[in-house]
A and B are shown apart, each in its own frame.
Chain A
C-alpha cells in the first residue's frame, strides 16, 4: 500500500460517511421546534462532515504510518528513519486550507447568528422568572402567571428572562438555543416556534442542590388552542382570586402547616414559631422583629422571603430549597396582610 492508495480509501470512507450524515435527519432523535433549530442543525451537519474529513486524515494516516513504518524484528535496534526536516509547500497547504475552511465556517455561523439575535417586529412576549428551583412564566398580555408549566403559541416569541437568586439558563433542546437568566441583568431570546408539541424546559446552568429537578413542561400550541387555553386560565383565575376577607386560621395557617411545619412549627429553627399568631409578631433571631406589617405586604418579611421577587432577608428564599408557595397561596398572603393581617 502506498500513500495514494491510503488516501483513496480515506476519500471513499469520507464520501460514504458524509452522505450518511447529510441524508440522516437529526429530527428523528430531537425534533426541530424553532426556525433557529433548522439553521443550527444545518450548520452542525456542515461542521460534522468537515470534521469527518479532518478526523479521517489524522487517524487514517496515524494508523497507516504506525503499521507501515514500524521497525520490523529483523531491522537493527538503532535503525534510523529518513532525514526529513520539513516540507514548506506541504506546511503552507495544511495552514491555508484550514484558514479557508474556518473563514467559510465563521461566515456561515455569523449569518445564522445575526438571525438569532435579530429582534422581531411583532412577537408574543413571555416574562420568565427563574428562581431556585422553579420556572415561572408570566404572560403580560393576559395577566396570567403559571409555575412549572409554560405555554406559548406558534409564531414569533420573545422570552424575557429574570433571575431572582442565582444564574439559571433557559433551554429547550428542541429549540436548539439557550440563554442564561442573570440576576440584576435582564436578558432576552427571540425565536419562531414552528412545531406544536410538549417539551421539557430545562435549567442548563448549575444552580444548586435542586438543579436536576429544575424543569417545566413547555407547550407549543396552535394559535387556536392557545387562545382557548388563555380563556380557560382567565376564567379559573377570576374564580380563585381572593376578593373576600381572608382569615388567619382558615386561609393562612394551613399554608404554614403545609409548607413550613418541619422547621418552624415542629422545631423552632431560627427561633421562629409559625404555629401561633404571636410567633409571627415575635419574629426570629436571623431576621429580627415581626415578620408581618399590617397593610403593607411589600414591607413584610413574610411576603419578601416567600415571594418570587425577593429581597430574601437572611439570604434564602423560603421554604428552603423549595418547592415554593404557589401563586394562589402567595396571593392569599398578600391579600391577608393588606387587609390588616388580623388574627381572625
Chain B
C-alpha cells in the first residue's frame, strides 16, 4: 500500500505520466503488477503478525497444564483463526499474490499480467476477505470449529451463543478470498501461456515460473470445489439446508471430501511456489547451474498431478472404506518420489559450488533442511496403520508446521531476503539478516520438534488443556515459541532500517541471471524499456547472458562486483 514509505521513490520517476496520478491511485488502486504484488505482501504480512500473536497466546495458555489464560471457547477461536489466517490470508496470498504477481511477469519478460484491472480486483477482494474473518470476534466470537470446519461442530451454534455469526463470517471470508485467488489463477495462466518473451520456450522457463504455472492450475481446478462446500455449509447454517445433517438424509463425510479435495492440493499451492523460490536462490548463490533442471520441472508437474489423487489420506480414521484407504495410501507414497528428486537435486546443486552463504541462501537451505523432516514424517503418516496412532495428535501438528512453517515460511523469507533489494531498491543489513536466520532456524526446531514426541506419547491436538505428564514438554515448547516469535522483530527492525537508511541497491546485487535482474531496482512501470529476447536457460553461469535486447546500462552479468 504505502509504496512511497517503502522507499520506492524512483517508481514514478521512470514513468512521467504515471507520476501525475494521486498517491492513492498509484499505490492502492494501481494496476501495476509490482504495486499489487507489494500490496499483497504487506497485507499478508499484517495478517501473519496477527495470526502469529494468536499462536503465541495459545502457547501462553498451553505453557502449563490447567492454566486459565484463555477460556476454552476463546482458545478454540484463536486456534481456528490462527490456522485459517495463516493459510488463507498469509501463505497463499503472499506466495501467489505477492511473489507471483511481482516476479512472474518480470521473469517471463512481460510488461504486466494479461488482465491488469482484473488483477486489481483480485487484490481488492483480499483485505476485506481477511477482515471479515477477524470480524467474527466482534459478533460474540469468531469461528471455533477449527480451520477444517468439520460439520456438525461447525454448523452447531456454539454453547452460550444464540447465533453462529463467527462461523458465517469464516465461511464468507474464505469464499471471498477463494474468489480472489481463482481470478488471480486465471490471470496468471493466461499471462504465462501468452506473454512470455520471444525465445522463452517452456523448457527455458525459470523454475519459479514452472512452480507458479502448476500452482495456478491446481488453484483453478480445486478452489471451485471448496467454494461449493463453503456455500453449501453456509446454506445449512442460514436456511437449514440438510447437506451435512444425517437425520435429514445428509452426510457429514461429504464435507470432508469436498474440503480435502481443495485443502490437500492447497498444501502444494503453498509449497510449490516456495520450492520455486528455493530453486532460484540455490544456483545464484552456489554460482553454478541448478542440478537437473528438467527433473525439477517434471517433478513439479508430477506433484501437481498427484495432488488431486491423495486427499482422503486426511480421513484415514474417519470411517472411509478400507479399500479406499489403501488406494490413498499408495498415491500418497508415490508423491514422495518427485518430492525426493527435488530435495536431492537441491543438495547436489551445492556440490562443487562457490557458495556465498548470504541470508537468502541460508533461508533456502533452512527450507531444504526442515522441509525434509516434514516430508519424512509425511511418509510415516501416509502409512494407514501408523496414521491410526498419529492422526489427531501433536505429531500431526509437528508435521504440518515442519511443512508449512519449515517449508513455506522459510521459503517466503528466503524470497524476501533475495528480492528485497529488487523490490525496495535498498539493501538489508546482512548481519541482522543472518541473526534472524539463526534465531528462526534454531527456535523453529526447538518449538516444533518436541511436538512429535508429545504426540506419540498421547497428547491430542486442538486442546486448551492436557494431561499434566506433558507439562515440562509444553513449557519448553512455549518458551521456544516466544523466542521464535521475537525473532521476527529482528526482521521488522532490519526492514524498517533498510527503508530509511539502507544502502542503495544496484540492479543485480546477487549476480542472478533471470530477467528481473536485467532491469532497474525497483523496476520502472512497464518493467523493460525494450522487449528482451531469450536465448537459453537462466542457469548456465559460464555462458554469456541468456537474453539480449535489454539496454546495457542495466545488465550486470554474470556477477556484479557491487556485492557487499
Contacts and interface: CB of A to CB of B under 8 A. Distances in A.
Nearest to A207: B153
A29 B72 CA distance: 29
Contacts of B288: 80-84
B318 interface: yes
B46 interface: no
- Name, among B72, B319, B329, the residue most crowded by chain A CB atoms within 10 Å (CB to CB): B319
Interface string A94-126: 110011001001100110110011000000000
Contacts of A55: 372-373, 376
B160 to A, nearest CB: 7
Given A43-B386, A180-B319, A184-B246, A62 B153 contact: no
Contact of B352 (A69, A169, A183, A208): A69
A82 B353 contact: yes
A171 B558 contact: no
Contacts of B376: 51, 54-55
B158 A209 contact: yes
A206 interface: yes
A321 B386 CA distance: 33
Interface string A65-103: 110011100010111111111110011001100110010
A165 B159 CA distance: 13
A29 B251 CA distance: 39
Contact of A179 (B251, B319, B345, B352): B319
Given A81-B288, A109-B329, A212-B463, A75 B354 contact: yes
A107 B399 CA distance: 23
Contacts, number: 274
B347 A78 contact: no
A62 B373 contact: no
Given A183-B252, A212-B465, A81 B287 contact: yes
A320 B458 contact: no
Contact of B386 (A40, A80, A95, A316): A40
B292 A315 contact: no
A311 interface: yes
A61 B357 CA distance: 16
A11 to B, nearest CB: 17
B383 interface: yes
B221 interface: no
B464 A212 contact: yes
A260 interface: no
B385 A204 contact: no
Contacts of A166: 150, 152-153, 156
B383 A109 contact: yes
Nearest to B362: A66
A40 B380 CA distance: 11
A77 B343 contact: no
A40 B73 contact: no
A315 B159 CA distance: 10
- Name, among B340, B343, B356, B539, the residue most crowded by chain A CB atoms within 10 Å (CB to CB): B340
Contact of A200 (B330, B353, B458): B458
A80 B388 contact: no
A229 interface: no
Given A71-B355, A105-B379, A176 B372 contact: no
A36 B385 contact: yes
Contacts of B336: 98, 102
Nearest to B371: A58
- Name, among B72, B293, B457, B564, the residue most crowded by chain A CB atoms within 10 Å (CB to CB): B72
A44 interface: yes
Given A86-B295, A102-B334, A110-B326, A30 B388 contact: no
A66 B329 contact: no
B456 A204 contact: no
B487 interface: no
Interface in A27-46: 29-30, 36, 39-40, 43-44
B286 to A, nearest CB: 5
A223 interface: no
B219 to A, nearest CB: 27
A58 B379 contact: no
A47 interface: yes
Nearest to A72: B354
A17 to B, nearest CB: 14
A340 interface: no
A126 B334 CA distance: 38
Contacts of A75: 354
Interface stretch (B2-10, B265-273, B389-397, B415-423): B389-397
B353 A177 contact: no
B384 A81 contact: no
Contacts of A320: 159-160
B350 A105 contact: no
Contact of B391 (A44, A178, A206): A178
B441 to A, nearest CB: 12
B306 to A, nearest CB: 13
Contact of A90 (B348, B385, B463, B539): B348
Given A83-B289, A211-B462, A206 B153 contact: yes
Interface in A269-323: 311, 315-316, 320-321
Contact of B156 (A39, A165, A202): A165
Contacts of A82: 288, 351-353
A228 B145 CA distance: 43
Given A51-B376, A71-B354, A81-B288, A58 B391 contact: no
A30 B365 contact: no
Interface string A194-208: 000000101111111
A65 B388 contact: no
Contacts of B156: 165-166, 208, 315-316
A42 B538 CA distance: 48
A148 B137 CA distance: 34
A267 interface: no
B143 to A, nearest CB: 12
Interface in B362-386: 365, 368-369, 372-373, 376-377, 379-380, 383-386
A59 B369 contact: yes
A210 B458 CA distance: 18
Contacts of B152: 165-167, 183
A185 interface: yes
Contact of B317 (A40, A44, A178): A178
A202 B460 contact: yes
Contacts of B253: 182, 185
A55 B76 CA distance: 35
- Name, among B72, B146, B153, B373, the residue most crowded by chain A CB atoms within 10 Å (CB to CB): B153
Contacts of A77: 559, 561, 563-564
Contact of B72 (A83, A183, A184, A210): A210
Contact of A209 (B73, B357, B391): B73
Given A39-B385, A183-B252, A206-B153, 19 more contacts: A62-B368, A65-B351, A69-B351, A69-B352, A71-B287, A77-B563, A80-B542, A81-B287, A82-B351, A83-B289, A86-B295, A91-B295, A95-B340, A102-B334, A109-B329, A116-B388, A180-B318, A182-B252, A208-B158
13 contacts: A30-B456, A66-B365, A69-B350, A80-B559, A84-B288, A85-B292, A109-B385, A176-B388, A183-B246, A205-B317, A208-B144, A213-B465, A320-B159
List the 5 closest A-B pairs by CB distance, nearest first: A184-B246, A81-B288, A173-B458, A78-B559, A81-B353
Interface of B: 72-73, 76, 144-146, 150, 152-153, 156-160, 246-247, 250-253, 286-289, 291-295, 317-319, 322, 325-326, 329-330, 333-334, 336-337, 340-341, 343-345, 347-348, 350-357, 365, 368-369, 372-373, 376-377, 379-380, 383-386, 388-389, 391-393, 456-458, 460-467, 511, 539-542, 558-561, 563-564
Interface of A: 29-30, 36, 39-40, 43-44, 47, 51, 54-55, 58-59, 61-62, 65-66, 69-71, 75, 77-87, 90-91, 94-95, 98-99, 102, 105-106, 109-110, 112-113, 116-117, 165-167, 169, 171, 173, 176-180, 182-185, 187, 200, 202-213, 311, 315-316, 320-321
